[in-house]
Amino acid sequence: MNAPKDSGRRSAGYYAMAVLALLTCPCHLPILLLLLSGTAAGAFITEYFAAALALLGVLFLFSVTAAMRLLQGNETENGQH
């Protein structure tokens, strides 16, 4: 079967959204704080922990939803659904 030209872009978009979801998962915030300790970003996140948690939660939900939609679009185009 010939895949549409859009297929590569959708796959790249899916992987980008999946990586963004992995990085912004709220359960990874303590690990992120450890990695950023001693930096201005780490100090900012520590100071505004609740706001950072809310923002990362919203960004996580957005990226997971976008990744799932892109994945479902790829499956229906390939006839796997």
Confidence grade of residue 79 (pLDDT, cut at 50, 70, 90): low
Residue of 78, 73, 70 lying closest to 12 (CA atoms): 70
Does residue 1 register a pLDDT over 50? no
In terms of C-beta density within 10 A (0-12 exposed, 13-18 middle, 19 or more buried), how is residue 39 classed?
exposed
Q: Which residue has the higher pLDDT, 39 or 23?
A: 39
Q: Which residue has the higher pLDDT, 28 or 73?
A: 28
Confidence grade of residue 12 (pLDDT, cut at 50, 70, 90): confident
Question: Rounded to 5 degrees, what are φ and ψ at 19?
Answer: -65, -40
The set of residues, in sequence order, having a beta carbon less than 8 Å from that of 10 and lying 6+ positions away, is 70, 73, 74, 77
Does residue 28 register a pLDDT over 80? yes
